[in-house]
Amino acid sequence: MVNVYEAAGPLYDALSGERVVYRTGRESGVALLKPSTGDTVLDVGCGTGLNFALLVDAVGPSGTVVGLDRSPKMLEMARRRVEANGWTCVCLVKADATTFDPNEIAKELPAPSSGLVDAVFSSYAMSVFDDWHPAWDRMRTLLKPGGRAGIVDMQLPVGRARVFSPLARLAASVGGADLHAHPWAVIEREGTDVRSASLRGGHIQVVAATIA
Ligand SMILES: C[S@@+](CC[C@H](N)C(=O)[O-])C[C@H]1O[C@@H](n2cnc3c(N)ncnc32)[C@H](O)[C@@H]1O
């Protein structure tokens, strides 16, 4: 089967509805995640790196952003973005989020991190995974105790915004997202200091929390 992200990598930014619909979700997600200066943040299913500017800004030059994705084409676009912006604190890892060995990723982390990250983040990606649960297990394994986790993802709009459901279904089917996956629920269940936002008529759900 053709992988939509391999096929559309170079066009993703233009076709993803970023400015009109989805940017607000990643902005809110990073704001609620609240990474600190010097933090190491793992961005799971990072795609072309649309979160990087926000994350790099938050962690500063002493921090690290690790972008993980399984698609070489998406990572190539991410690499170009990193180079164009001169972000030396971003590293990219090609891996399947649902099957990777956390020990292998731990080796890619910068020395002071002792194999664990301060925060894990994922936007519009976990609903695309065949099953997000094994990805979450791996994110947890790599997250230091008391670290922060943030998930931004999609569902069907609610209330009066339900009139936009056909558009949401179209966007999800093009991107291969399961609008019923609701991956943010795991953070609501397992986290403390839970912060959340519901945007674009409930279509975009943003949850961040501290994970013990
Ligand atoms: C809709 S894009 C979101 C990209 C980015 N997070 C954003 O906010 O724009 C979904 C991404 O998940 C990646 N992906 C899908 N399944 C994956 C998996 N099992 N492991 C790692 N990445 C995966 C795709 O390659 C794609 O880059």
Rounded Cα gap, residues 91 and 78, in angstroms: 10
Report strand pairing: 204-211 vs 191-199: antiparallel
Task: Evaluate if residue 32 carries a pLDDT over 80.
Answer: yes
Q: Which domain covers residue 57, as residue numbers?
A: 4-211
Q: For the chain, how many structural domains are there in total?
A: 1
Distance CA 35, CA 4 (A): 31
Please state, in angstroms and rounded to a whole number, the distance separating the CA atoms of residues 207 and 184: 6
Mean pLDDT (whole number) for 154-174: 94
The pLDDT of residue 18: 82
Question: What local confidence, expressed as pLDDT, does residue 61 receive?
Answer: 93
74 compared with 21, residue with greater pLDDT: 74
Domain at 135, CATH number: 3.40.50.150
Q: Whose CA is nearest to atom 13 of ligand 1?
A: 45
What is the band of 153 on the pLDDT scale with cuts at 50, 70, 90? very high
- For the cut 90, the answer to whether the pLDDT of residue 7 exceeds it is no
Q: Which residues line ligand 1 (CB under 6 A)?
A: 5, 26, 45-47, 50-51, 69-71, 74, 96-98, 123-125, 128-129, 175
Q: Give the model's pLDDT for residue 2.
A: 56
Pocket test for ligand 1, best of 70, 79, 122 (most atoms within 8 A of CB): 70
| pTM: predicted TM-score of the whole model, two decimal places | 0.95
Confidence of residue 9 (pLDDT cuts 50, 70, 90): low
Best residue for ligand 1 mutational test, from 16, 43, 46 (most atoms within 8 Å of Cβ) = 46
